[in-house]
Structure 1
Amino acid sequence: MSGPYARRVVITGIGVTAPGGVGVKNFWSLLSDGRTATRRISFFDPSPFRSQIAAEVDFDAELLGLGAQEIRRMDRAAQFAVVTAREAVEDSGLDLHSLDPHRTGVTIGSAVGATMGLDQEYRTVSDSGRLDLVDHEYAVPHLYNYLVPSSFAAEVAWAVGAEGPTTVVSTGCTSGLDAVGYATELIREGSADVMVAGAADAPISPITVACFDAIKATTPRNDDPEHASRPFDGTRNGFVLGEGSAVFVLEELDSARRRGAHVYAEVAGYATRSNAFHMTGLRPDGREMAEAIRIALDEARLGPEAVDYVNAHGSGTKQNDRHETAAFKRSLGEHAYGVPVSSIKSMVGHSLGAIGSIEIAASALAMEHGVVPPTANLHTADPECDLDYVPLTARDWRTDAVLSVGSGFGGFQSAMVLARPDRRDA
């Protein structure tokens, strides 16, 4: 390969804000221990709802370095993004202010934008829904920032001093994967040298809970929140809503090597497809996800047998888990039966647009530590989900290439391959 697409893109910095602990160290500790961070919703009284549990982040914005004006200006998800981006930049060792700001960009994914801020402001201006004609004078001065998701990317760009391509990607539950994939392409094509990319969502609000209640997508297992998220388990009955953020510093491989940077992984391949089928439904054969996997592996120049671990979407709905299992068999062939597969949603819930980036972080850290995180709460085998889902306990396992996939309402299916650069050098 020659020309601008010869530029290889690597992850040199990681930041995570997730249920169970803020920061990469706490996040990995939770996953490797197989602990869960799901609990009864504490942000509001959930008793009127069918599903009353979620995976919440214990987040103190002031303690994490945000000023009073930043906290007033930004929705909770934007706060996640900024705090997480700062951790990623610090982890990378890059002094972004010494770089050409026009060659540094930002891409942030989000499925539902400033849901919590908008929900709170509507309750305020409508006097908790009692007023048909709302009074805008009661709203915060920065309500427009809540309305426009592009404010997330703008806030991160201001925080890191980036003046290059700055974008929000919103493709439902694949937003976190697609944002990193898009940022990778910008570096490959030469439009940027460094990208701060990831995703953030904070959807745990009455409106979101009500919406998923209506289609019975979330679990009603309210009496046992800790064990409610059960991807691939025969007793699963819906996902657990979550929140959080993960952000990465991406840069060109040769540049990272010249400065002696620590490289977590190369973004070796990425692809996304749509099923053009149904807003929330999935075909059982997994054809569209399988096609995204095939293209991502082709781009990475790796065969199915090179995949050492699959970080699954694994939402815990019967439809998704069957669809995904079929996609792995279709794309990986017989190798699907020999490769470990797991879902971290069993521990940190489903944070909608953010989860794709959080799962990329988990995949990179699995490579870093030689450990595959488990699928918690997987006790009962489902004959339709008959792969190696790493039940209950993390597994020591060397991973040179990881496949991470996502599936979202609207028919979005995305796949990303992370690999050790020396694996691809060979």
Structure 2
Amino acid sequence: MSRRVVVTGLGAVAPGGTNLKQYWDLLSSGRTATRPITAFDPSPYRSRIAAECDFDPVEAGLSPQEARRMDRATQFAVAAAREAIAGSGLDLPGTDGERLAVSLGCAVGCTTSMEREYVVLSDGGRSWLVDPEYAVPHLYDWFVPSSAAAEVAHTVGAQGPVALISDGCTSGLDAVGHGAELIREGSADVVVAGGTDAPISPITLACFDAIKATSPRNDDAAHASRPFDATRNGLVLGEGGAVLVLEELEHARRRGAHVYAEVAGFGSRSNAYHMTGLRPDGVEMAEAVRVALDEARIAPEGVDYVNAHGSSTKQNDRHETAAFKRSLGDHAYRVPVSSIKSMIGHSLGAIGALELVACALAMEYGVVPPTANLHVADPECDLDYVPLTAREQRVDTVLSVGSGFGGFQSAVVLARPDRRTA
């Protein structure tokens, strides 16, 4: 009999809410956290807006030494992990460290710190040859993205498998999928899993400008991210981190833990097609959804809510709509679908984990978060996208999907444990 995996703790550092309560308050109210960039002067760039986290590492409980050592993305992950562990009620000193694992997703690594140090070492880009004597000692950790996973492992005392999953915008979803598999196969009893990214930096902004993937709606930052809206013109970058405590079901029951949901299914596929392009028929995402539902032993009609990738680009939203119709059939027209990127932007490797936390809270509170800024219906996107206002309804099963550059497509199914038989 396969070991079952449940979620017993949640933590989040997000735009508009640097803890779990603030994050859910933002989502359930339909407010947006997208705004003009304040982290640096964005005036030279085409898109000058983002969803930033008002995050103070010391206020979040990190020591000044930890804050100096860790890149911003790592700080998000550690803060979210601490909140998730505290909320789970897990007794870390009483937990076997060899049965405790970490699976963290991240797309662009320690970009913020590396770019800052390069500017210093190269004298603002004027020197090709740099003097390493000017480098901070932590620069060499920042070159290795797995340093973020190592810091989380150190924080929680994990001596089991520790992994950094980096496959673009599906990294957060895939890290949770990998973490669940570690428990199912018997390699761990508890996994601290999630995603983190801090991509709001000049180099990342320039890269997205080059391919015109980001919205140039700089005069209306609060309403720039418009998934599934006919007037959408690109994504809005975000940042943040989210962590879920995954636990073997019987392990959780023995200690009387509160269970948010079961990680019932996971599927991942690639389109082997184009680095940034998507086929309009959505076949590869539909296949990832089929695999996840099959693993969960849940029929398409059993899905109560779909948390969409909903990046607010023309091709993604069309591709995703087609994928839902292909994988869910007629039920695609009846099930509520929404994109929280309309409120917190697209935080690349973190967003999948942030979305899963939102899904678990939607199940907990019986509220489907809305798609903000959806005013003008797109005839090609003709599903129920929960426009503008959250919707109260019982949610027993959630499908959350992600789509990433490189052709990555992933799907996770969360369900109430009593909805599935062993």
TM-score, length-scaled by structure 1? 0.98
Aligned residue in 2 for 1:227: 223
Q: Does the residue aligned with 2:418 lie in a helix, a strand or coil?
A: helix
SS of 1:148 mapped into structure 2: coil
How far did residue 425 of structure 1 move? 3.4
Aligned pairs, number: 422
Mapping of residues 75-86 of structure 1, within 5 Å: 75-86=71-82
Cα distance in 1 for partners of 2:97, 2:80 equals 20
Structure 2 match to 1:180: 176
Could you list the runs of 4 or more consecutive aligned residues of structure 1 that deviate by over 3 angstroms after TM superposition? none
**1:288-333 deviations in Å (ceiling 9; x for gaps):** 0000000000000000000000000000000000000000000000
Counterpart of 1:413? 409
Alignment match, 1:210? 206
Tell me the TM-score normalised to structure 2 length: 0.99
- Residue by residue over 1:334-384, the C-alpha shift from the partner in whole angstroms, topping out at 9 and shown as x without a partner, is 000000000000000000000000000011100000000000000000000
1:359 aligns with 2:355: yes
Letter in 1 for 2:296: A
Corresponding residue for residue 380 of structure 1: 376
Question: Residue in 2 aligned with 1:100?
Answer: 96
Aligned counterparts of 2:330 and 2:166: Cα–Cα separation in 1: 34
Task: Report what 2:139 is aligned to.
Answer: 143
User: Per the alignment, in what secondary structure is the counterpart of residue 22 of structure 1?
Assistant: coil
2:271 counterpart (255, 272, 275): 275
The letter of the residue matching 2:312 is G
Counterpart AA for 2:335? V
Give the match for residue 285 of structure 1: 281
Of the three residues 188, 194, 210, the one matched with 1:192 is 188
Query: How far apart are the structure 2 equivalents of 1:161 and 1:196?
Result: 11
Unaligned runs of 5+ in 1: none
Letter of the structure 2 residue corresponding to residue 320 of structure 1: N
| TM-superposed deviation, 1:8 | 0.4
Q: What is the identity, as a one-letter code, of the residue corresponding to 1:322?
A: R
Q: Does 1:321 align with 2:317?
A: yes
Structure 2 letter corresponding to 1:17: V
Match of 1:305 in 2: 301
1:338 aligns with 2:340: no
Matches within 5 A, 1:396-407: 396-407=392-403
- Partners of 2:111 and 2:205 in 1: CA distance: 11
Question: 1:163 maps to what in 2?
Answer: 159
**Alpha-carbon distance in structure 2 between the residues aligned to 1:131 and 1:231:** 42
- Distance, in Å, in 2 between the alignment partners of 1:97 and 1:89 is 12
1:258 aligns with 2:254: yes
Identity of aligned residues (%): 74
Supply the distance in 2 between the matched residues of 1:139 and 1:45 (Cα, whole angstroms). Answer: 24
- Determine the C-alpha separation between the residues in 1 that align with 2:377 and 2:131: 54
Letter in 1 for 2:297: R
RMSD: 0.7
Aligned-partner SS, 2:176: helix
Amino acid at match of 1:245: G
Distance 1:109 1:172 in 2: 9
SS at 2:267 equivalent: strand
What CA distance in whole angstroms lies between the structure 2 residues aligned with 1:385 and 1:96?
A: 46
Structure 2 Cα separation of the partners of residues 19 and 48 of structure 1: 23
- The letter for the 2-side match of 1:421 is P
Cα deviation, residue 68, structure 1: 1.4
In the alignment, what sits opposite 1:296?
292
Unaligned runs of 5+ in 2: none
